[in-house]
Amino acid sequence: MTDTSIDPATDGPDDPVNADDSAGSDNSAGSDHVGGTTPEGHDDKYNDPRARITKRGVWMGIGVVVFGIVGAAASIYARRTRLEQTTRFWGPETIEALQLAERVELIARGDSEFDPVELTATPGLGHLRRALLDERGFDWSTESPESALEYCGNRVSDSSGAPKCVQLRLTDPTAHRFEQVEIDLDLAGGWVGPSDGSRRVQATDWVQPKLRNYFATIIDVQQKRYDFRD
């Protein structure tokens, strides 16, 4: 009797069925590499036909860009020094001096006593210039045709040595773009104005202590320098 059963042990590549399966398996594996795609690549995540750019998405992107531009412009405008009221009060020449003065000196006025101080290269001078230039630093309802130092004769320096009344002298010795400009400040009362005594205005409650602290610090440092020399 002839045995017609199929022995699994003898089933191998010579079997046409298994040969086809093996070839198909090899081809499928090769196709993954030939195309440069591996099972770990998950190209379906990047080529998903459901991911589409819609009009709503485009408008949202445009909105974000416009919002950023408007925000930047608002920030620049808020930081910009406003000069309309101060130009009217100080006059164009004083505005130019505050912006461009090559040399800035601090002089004692009233009963204040200290040696003249050169402010030209001192830290914080830029903030002082801006404080006197920006119209938002003053209470314009207090403007009057009086001297800023009207009450300085009654003010004396306290025990801390902080000055009460001072003068800023601004010059431009190299370029000569303007004549000498002098500004008086009553630090105790917060009044400022030109040294000719023609008008004055009061700094805001926010600016007044900053002016006092700045000048007190500058004078204190200058005095210590003189003490070290001795």
Strand ranges of the sheet holding 165-171, from the earlier edge strand across to the other edge: 117-118, 103-108, 165-171, 181-186, 191-194, 200-203, 138-144
The predicted pLDDT at position 198 comes to 96
The pLDDT confidence band at residue 50, using thresholds 50, 70 and 90, is: low
Hey, how many other C-beta atoms are within 10 angstroms of the C-beta on 220? 14
Residue type, 177: R
pLDDT score of 86 more than 80: yes
pLDDT score of 41 more than 70: no
The predicted pLDDT at position 62 comes to 79
Chain length of the chain: 230
Q: Would you tell me the crossing angle of helices 125-133 and 208-229 to the nearest 10 degrees?
A: 150
The predicted pLDDT at position 190 comes to 95
φ and ψ at 11, to 5 degrees?
A: -75, 120
pLDDT tens column, 185-212: 999 999 999 999 999 999 999 999 999 9
Structure tokens at 109: 């006025």
User: Can you give 29-91 as a three-state secondary structure string?
Assistant: HHHHHHCCCCHHHCHHHHCCCCCCCCHHHHHHHHHHHHHHHHHHHHHHHHHCCCCHHHHHHHC
Strands (E) located in the chain: 103-108, 117-118, 138-144, 165-171, 181-186, 191-194, 200-203
The pLDDT confidence band at residue 23, using thresholds 50, 70 and 90, is: very low
Percentage of the chain modeled with pLDDT above 70: 67
- Residue closest to 212 by CA, chosen among 195, 183, 188: 188
pLDDT tens column, 116-153: 999 998 999 999 999 999 999 999 999 999 999 998 86
The predicted pLDDT at position 5 comes to 44
